[in-house]
Structure 1
Amino acid sequence: MNAPATKVLVIGYVWPEPRSSAAGGHMMQILESFLTQGWDITFSSPATIGEHKADLTALGIAECAIELNNSSFDDFVRELAPDIVLFDRFMMEEQFGWRVEKHCPDALRVLETCDLQSLRDARQQRLKDHLKAHPHSEDFSALFAPALDDEFQLMADTDIAKREIAAIYRCDISLMISDVEAQLLTEQFKVPAALLHWCPLMLQPPTEPFVPFEDRAHFLSIGNFRHAPNWDAVLWMKNSLWPLIRQQLPGAQLHIYGSYTPPKATALHNPAQGFHVMNWAEDALQVMTAARICLAPLRFGAGIKGKLADAMLCGTPNITTPIGAEAMGDDQPWPGMIEHSAPALAAAAVALYQDRERWTQAQEDGRRLLARRYNAATHGPALVACLEHCRGNLAAHRRDNFTGSMLRHHAHKSTQYMSQWIEAKNRPL
């Protein structure tokens, strides 16, 4: 008799939208790795359904809406009896972790960190401080090359870092999309390496010929407008980079695509300046394939950048900053150019746009980087093997994580009582 399929419950911060964000794409890649094993997956979320939600039921994944601070989840999770529970970002572990532990104590608890929000927020604050002190600065070299210990100093006293890293300790395994962030956690925050698993974007390396240089035109930038680093990059392009590019390429056109376009973004649309805010792209890879250069001038952020992975998939060289390239590459040539200031980024963009030989080499550098670093055939099985190993050694794994056990003991009690108080307060009289 065949053993029953492994049951997986995913508790999503949002319903996955793979065409809107890298986080949504990464979640779908994780789910596909589980489906390949024949695992039985249920995806749940307390969030409202977004405009571009993936059709999970078409993949054979059950969907279930859940509520915050409501004991109905207890009955749901007890009846489901999952073998693995995946929390999508630390806020979901805070909300539901104690309920999972109470009703399914033997379930493996996995955290999809997406990126370190505490790192992203600390870098955003550092940028704000820099701009306040140097309002006319266009060179951000000092922000782009801090040592990991400097990042630790920025983060260590923040509430969000304490919450985020506590959730990592409380879980059995945390998935790290960035190996730089895994290094930060192990070396500076002293998180045991056994609690972390490197799980970058999992992609199928392209094998077909790319669209060549002469069949492409224009610059492209893409990203969810709700994501603060993307919006900051749009403003920097509008105010600094794009005018410099247009000075040297008067006919240049920039097409900016993004989901959930707010009025403040559409207000920047200016065809006379070649600055086009295009709203959401139905097919991001199609518009990326038509562009000659992808611009990603990110001044802060964390994790790894789905837009740059998409650019490599499409054979579109990119111009970015060290923040954009962080954890994306290795010691081999980057598929584009990395610069630290607005003038240098603009000069690089103009040079690469016009240099067919260099552009074609960057295109092939991207193909090779995808095969080396993001191959789904490598990372999918590695993820499954990690989870199965932890499940097979769960008692010892948890015994070795005394800090996590201690944090669960204290934090879950306080969270439980707060949740129960909110639920009681919300009951009709």
Structure 2
Amino acid sequence: MFKSLLFVLRIALAWGTAIFLAVVTYSSLPFFGSFELPAVLFTLITSALVLAGAFSHIRRVKLIAGTVNRDTLSNRQKRQIEIPFEAGEAFDLLDAAVRELPGVERIQSARDSLQIKAKVARPDTYGEDELPRWNPLRWFGQPRNQLQATVTPAGDSGSVTLICEPDHPAWRDWFLVDDGTNFENAEAIVRALTRRIGERRRGERTHAEQTATEKELTEAKLHLLHAQVEPHFLYNTLASAQLLTRSDPARAETMLGHLIQYLRRSLPDAGDGMSTLGAELERALAYLEILKIRMGERLNVQVDVPDALRGTAIPAMMLQTLVENAIKHGLEPRTGGGTVWIRARRSEEGVAVTVADDGEGFNTKTAGTGIGLKNIRERLRLRFAGAASLSVIANFPSGVAATLMVPASADPQNGDSGHA
């Protein structure tokens, strides 16, 4: 109540001073100044309209703000809003919120300077005004408001300074009221930003949950691959070992040793599906050594992987999949067999691991379903968020070369650097 009385007193004092000066000026006029009735009527009517407008302003502010104090009664509103996004994203949210404000016009949006200025048409808050020409609180005011918003970068967030005010000089606030329209505009923008931030957060959570689900599904498929060694490979290897025990026990023992090494590296991992290039290379070489015993002179293997790169973190079973593709689709269909190369090199982009063969190459007879390569690309996307890739190209003069590009990293088991 005290704040309301002070506000009315301030308006009454300002208008009383203006009315007094007007009456004094009128009284000093020759001939007209002798008629006191017009001056008295002007004083009474203007005072009544001013007081009515002031109390109307107070009631409306209390209705929309819920409380009456100096800040809510003010024609000029300022808000400081923290947006938990980078300044550019914060500006985009602010720009969209301003453009949706009812009655907004003449928007000036400068993304480089992170500033927005706009005019806002002031609504007729009480419908058709009964005394539009005779209301003193509208005699020399503009029928619109204005706003200015600036985004200040603050690290990974943006701080918005929002000012909503009448489109007239500040001295007129002694005589005019805005009927709470600038308070409404400021609160509307705050609500719009809060809503948009909430939507962005919900979208991020949904995306994160979806990504986590996809990752879990992919890892589940990987664990299934770990747990289920290819039946034909296992059957053929055991059958070959059984035959060799009769004719060449030493080779049979060697084959079984490689099979044990392969199975040990193929057991499901309770971790996060990540391994190292060294561990994956051991698995692949055990697999190839078994095939070399079965294929004999038809299979040649060449490995060029520096020791310094063997600690590079890569998803488990990825190298194995590329090696199996090279054998199944490249060399096995070829009568004369061929060579499998495994090579690793460090570059500015990361570590490139290449599995190449000089087999049949790309053709419809040896082409697979593509599920293995698709699974690799999906796992790389989920694991490295776009920082890793798989490329498959034709090898020269024949065969296929598949290259994994992964970020250079320390050995997850011992923390050693992966510098070549």
Q: What is the TM-score normalised by the length of structure 1?
A: 0.20
Could you say which structure has the greater relative contact order, defined with CA pairs below 8 angstroms and 6 or more residues apart?
1
- Normalized per residue, the structure richer in strand is 2
Larger-gyration structure (1/2):
2
